[in-house]
Amino acid sequence: MRRRDRAERWSVDDPRVARLAELLVERCLDVQPGWQVTIRTSPLARPLVRELARAIARRGAYALPRLSWELERLAVDIPWALEAPLELLDELAPIELYQGLNDDARLTIMAPEDARAGAAVPPERLSRIQRALEPVARRARALEVAWCVVQFPTEAAAAQAGMSLAEYEDFVYDACLLDWDAEGARMQRLADHFDRTSEVRIVGAGTDLTLSIAGRTGVVSQGRRNMPDGEFFFSPVEDSAEGVIAFSEFPASYLGRDVEGARLVFREGRVVEATASAGEDFLVGMLDTDEGARRLGELGIGCNPHITRHTRNLLFDEKMDGTVHLALGASYTYTGGLNKSAIHWDMVKDLRGGGELWCDGELVQRDGRWLI
């Protein structure tokens, strides 16, 4: 029996797959009767797609899978993106655009055969695709459509995280199948403190950055959107970021590309200097996507107690307990954010080794441990 066959057989028999599907349909998306639910993934996620179809059907809704071996979160096939004329990348296919503007819920299941597949797409093509996707992405940021991104364990994803498939399966399900009501209550207490805060200061290795969240309401992510969940986040005031932040602990990954040692200098909310030890051209290229790409769209605080190690997968890494993440580009309009951009790039800063978080001059976290 081939290795992939063994993995698929194990996944089919794993009761956690059905539990995850139920969580996604009933809590994350809260699928309603008559809804049209788009599911984007690879054939490797077949066990989860099958359980999702059943759960969606029980809700009286339509399951609409779209499968591809090389379908990134770009929402376009990578081989097509590599060969298509540049001008064709500037607009989604009309039927794709219609679906993106009219579906009621959308679920992206990351189940890669090759975790680095997106790295083959040149930055110029990525930027065009991101801009073409903006009308569809805007609906999600405004919560005009229910959406969720989830990971299904595959050999490639496990290898990227430095784990065996069995270890990775345990890691994924442990991070997802939590008591989300209890987790939400714990995080809400912390978020309430930030809601009363005007200025947040982040201090760490190569980092001293201040930004304002005055007038912005925090959102506690407690299993109502992405899975795994486990963070609370804000949209910073667009012209407030001042100082420097160095993402020296982990690579900043985006669309299959890694940027090592990214260092960003902010003045009046805008990135005025960007360097990296590797991948600097890609970093600068993404920052030049549009005017909003050089401003912050999100400040997030990781809180998931089962995510304690870096996996080279932002879906997990941004929830890592004892870390913060900043997103360059588009903000979420439902949090009061005003920044517009075709990109939303989360970069994770580890505060567990000497880092600090301050709220209006009060030290609230040191070395990743809460003091409030």
pLDDT band at residue 114 using 50, 70 and 90 as cut-offs? confident
Number of CB atoms found within 10 A of residue 217's CB: 13
Binned at pLDDT 50, 70 and 90, residue 68 comes out as: confident
Residue that wins the pLDDT comparison between 74 and 345:
345
Q: How confident is the model at residue 370 (pLDDT cuts 50, 70, 90)?
A: very high
358 phi and psi, to 5 degrees? -125, 140
> What is the side-by-side order of every strand in the sheet holding 231-234?
219-221, 231-234, 296-302, 323-329, 344-350
Secondary structure letter of residue 2 according to DSSP: -
Torsion angle of the four alpha carbons 182, 317, 282, 291, in this order, in degrees rounded to the nearest 10: 20
More confident residue, 256 or 236: 236
Domains and their CATH numbers in the chain: 3-176 (3.40.1830.10), 180-370 (no CATH)
CB 275 within 8 A of CB 248: no
pLDDT in tens, 34-50: 999 999 999 999 999 99
Residue with tokens 């486990």: 230
First to last CA, the chain: 53
- CB–CB of 25/31 below 8 Å? yes
The pLDDT value given to residue 8: 46
Give the per-residue pLDDT at 1.
43
pLDDT of residue 163: 96
Average pLDDT score over the chain: 91
Cβ neighbours around 86 below 10 Å, total: 9
Please check the confidence at residue 12 and state whether its pLDDT lies above 70: no
- What CA–CA distance (Å, rounded) separates 134 from 92? 10
Task: Answer whether residue 16 shows pLDDT above 60.
Answer: yes
Q: Tell which wins on pLDDT, 74 or 57.
A: 57
CB atoms within 10 A of CB 5: 9
- The tokens for 107 are 């679920």
Mean pLDDT of 103-117: 88
The mean-pLDDT minimum among 86-90, 126-130, 150-154, 350-354 falls in: 126-130
The reported pTM is 0.84
Task: State the CB neighbour count (10 A cutoff) for residue 145.
Answer: 19
Q: How far is CA 143 from CA 59, 140, 267, in A?
A: 21, 5, 30
Query: In one letter, which amino acid is 216?
Result: R
Distant-in-sequence, close-in-space partners of 161: CB < 8 Å, separation ≥ 6: 168, 171, 311, 312, 313
Place of tokens 């709220």: 359
Q: Do strands 356-359 and 262-267 pair parallel, antiparallel, or not at all (unpaired)?
A: unpaired
Q: What are residue 236's phi and psi, to 5 degrees?
A: -65, 155
Taking residues 114-137, report their average pLDDT: 82
Count CB neighbours of 242 within 10 A. Answer: 17
CB-based contacts of 122: which residues, under 8 Å, 6+ apart? none
Instruction: Give 290: exposed, middle or buried? Use CB within 10 Å, 0-12, 13-18, 19+.
Output: middle
- Determine the Cα–Cα distance for residues 123 and 202; give it in Å rounded to an integer: 30
Q: Tell me: pLDDT of 7 over 80.
A: no
From CA 152, how far away is CA 169, in angstroms rounded? Answer: 8
Q: Please give the average per-residue pLDDT across 298-308, as a whole number.
A: 96
- Rounded-to-integer distance, Cα 324 and Cα 236, Å: 13
pLDDT band with cut points at 50, 70 and 90 for residue 60: very high
Q: Which helix (H) or strand (E) holds 212?
A: strand 207-212
Q: Is the model's pLDDT at 74 over the cut of 60?
A: no
To 5 degrees, how large is the angle CA 181–CA 182–CA 183?
90
pLDDT bracket for residue 130 (50, 70, 90): confident
